Amino acid sequence: MRQRFKIRTTNLSNRFVQIVVVLFLLFPTKKLYAVTDSVLYDQSKISPVNDLPEKPSNIYAGKDFIYEIPQKDSDSDSNFLSKYFDWIVQKIINFINKLFNFNTEQNQVSGRHLLNFILLFLLVILLIVGLLYLIKKFRKTIGRNDEDILSAEEVEKNIDTVDFEQFINKAVSDKNYRLAIRFYYLKILKLMANKKVIEYHWNKTNYDYFYEIKNYDLKNLFQSTSKTFDYSWYGDYSPKESDFLLAKNKFLELQQMISKL
């Protein structure tokens, strides 16, 4: 009986201990307090600094404080050319002022504007002169004697029935040396065709005849004579009597060479 009571008492004590432990864990004895932030202000005195330099620019003038982008060589070259051009313009302006006794400051006229006006005036003069030259050249080319061209074309297409001496003498008496050289050249072509040196056709060129000629000396002399003819007939130059006489000597020399074939 006592033993049972002892065992029961022991069990009760163990359960009591367990309950106490559980309550201790569930309800701790220490309280949690909220944590708040705190700010600590500086209460020290601030003393001003009075030892700054009088010229701060001297300190910040070093290469470490230069933030400009260095210019390229092309920029420096363009600046040099611009300065050189301005120098030339100023010299011209000074020359004009001295020449015409023109004071740009008193008349309130910019010297550069004056120079631009003079350059524009000269440009207009050059354009007018160039236009007149082109008109003259055009008239000289288009306004050639149509009768000369027509007569030469007629002779060229009827080379076998033409008396070239008569046509040459008529052109020389009229001082139409350009047409006289043309008739001399056609006469040479007729002589070479009669000698079977070339095969004549009015639509052929000088180069066609040149490659048909087999004789070396005749070929070279014909080439030189053809250049003289092309220069006087197709060029802008009107041959004079002296030019005709030089061409005539070549044609006569060529005529003698053909007669010996």
Whether 36 maps to a domain, the answer reads no
Do 118 and 169 belong to one domain?
Answer: no
Whether 46 maps to a domain, the answer reads no
Whether 184 maps to a domain, the answer reads yes
In 3D space, the residue among 234, 237, 141, 241 whose CA is nearest the CA of residue 185 turns out to be 234
pTM check: above 0.75: no
Tally the domains of the chain. Answer: 2
Do 164 and 215 belong to one domain?
Answer: yes
Pick the last residue of a domain from 140, 171, 187. 140
**pLDDT of the residue at 255:** 93
Pick the last residue of a domain from 115, 140, 165. 140
Report the sign of the C-alpha dihedral through residues 222, 228, 231, 233, in that order: negative
pLDDT in 10s for each residue of the chain, 261 residues:
444 444 455 555 666 666 666 565 655 554 444 445 555 566 666 655 555 555 555 655 666 656 555 555 555 555 777 777 777 777 776 776 666 565 545 444 455 666 666 777 788 888 888 888 777 665 554 444 445 554 677 778 888 888 889 889 999 999 999 999 999 999 999 999 999 999 998 889 888 999 999 999 999 999 999 998 988 888 777 889 999 999 999 999 999 999 988
Pick the last residue of a domain from 114, 140, 166. 140
| Domain around 99 | 75-140
**pLDDT of the residue at 133:** 75
Do 254 and 208 belong to one domain?
Answer: yes
Whether 47 maps to a domain, the answer reads no
Do 111 and 168 belong to one domain?
Answer: no
Distance CA 145, CA 142 (A): 9
Whether 168 maps to a domain, the answer reads yes
3-state SS, one letter per residue, for 79-110: HHHHHHHHHHHHHHHHHHHHHHCCCCCCCCCC
